[in-house]
Amino acid sequence: MAGVVKNPAPLDRPVARDADAPTEAREHWWKVPPVDRRGLTIWIIGYVVMTVVAIGVGLLIVHELHDVRSLDVRVARWLFRHRTDGWDSVTWCGSMIADAYVKIPAAAILAVFFLWRWRRWSEPALLVGALVLEVAAFTTSSFVVDRGRPPIPRLDPVPPTGSFPSGHAAAAVAFYGAIAIIVFWHTHNRLGRTVAVIAAVVIPPVVGASRMYRGMHNLTDVIVGLLIGIISLWLTWLVVRRGPAMRSLDSSRRTP
């Protein structure tokens, strides 16, 4: 029994340090980056590959694939013939929910809220990183391909970028998809997850269809834009999920 009394002190010291680890990690959360050097390299390589492929596809459509261009024109003219005042208003809303004037302030406000709420960089990095990646790929490929807008009257001001690919469609996937992932990270509530998934799945096609209806993009512009958004979101999720901030959180959760 005497031996048992002498040993507790040395055993208590490492346990106390382990117990303090989660608290220490929370206190110094701003020092832990969301992405390491390897992840950033993968992210940049992903941008280059995705942009090169998008440019190649766009140039093929513009200069070689006559049947694809004909399909785009037929779809655009069909939408023009079915315009109504009601659909004009609906598609204006469908276009605006992914407009730069909406997504940039919304992303900034949400990023600040995420930092305040969870005290780490992972959530803002996922949201902002996915948007930055899709904007970079879309902008570069758009200026290189420089495709004209559909041959129908347009209902919105024409931006300086070309028609291919659709930046609104890409942004809708990146923005609402990132929100859905963050919801899944932080809640098991079935209703919350269901609403997040529905928004992430439904809103991007609505945005793409709205942009086509309003004469801003062709069908192939929207399809490639959606693919750019999906790849940007997946790639950003991949590097953030394996980043130091997420590893630090996982390590603190495993601490006794």
Each residue's pLDDT tens digit, 40-60: 999 999 999 999 999 999 999
> Per mean pLDDT, which range of 21-35, 53-67, 98-112 is the poorest?
21-35
- Residue 121 within any structural domain of the chain: yes
pLDDT at 34 (0 to 100): 84
What is the distance between the terminal CA atoms of the chain, rounded to a whole angstrom? 27
- Residue 15 within any structural domain of the chain: no
Counting runs of H as helices and runs of E as strands, what totals does the chain give?
A: 11, 0
- Residue 254 within any structural domain of the chain: no
- Residue 181 within any structural domain of the chain: yes
- Residue 146 within any structural domain of the chain: yes
- Residue 91 within any structural domain of the chain: yes
Domain of residue 81: give its range.
37-243
CB proximity list for 244: less than 8 A, separation 6 or greater: 32, 33, 34, 35, 36
CB proximity list for 186: less than 8 A, separation 6 or greater: 118
Mean pLDDT computed over every residue of the chain: 87
pLDDT at 27 (0 to 100): 59
pLDDT at 35 (0 to 100): 86
pLDDT at 24 (0 to 100): 45
Q: What is the pTM of this model?
A: 0.85
pLDDT digits (tens, 9 = 90+) for 207-245: 999 999 999 999 999 999 999 999 999 999 999 999 888
Please count the structural domains in the chain.
Answer: 1
- Residue 10 within any structural domain of the chain: no
Question: Is the pLDDT score of 11 beyond 70?
Answer: no
- Residue 6 within any structural domain of the chain: no
Neighbours of 50 (CB within 10 A): 22
Are residues 254 and 25 in contact, defined by beta-carbon separation less than 8 angstroms?
Answer: no
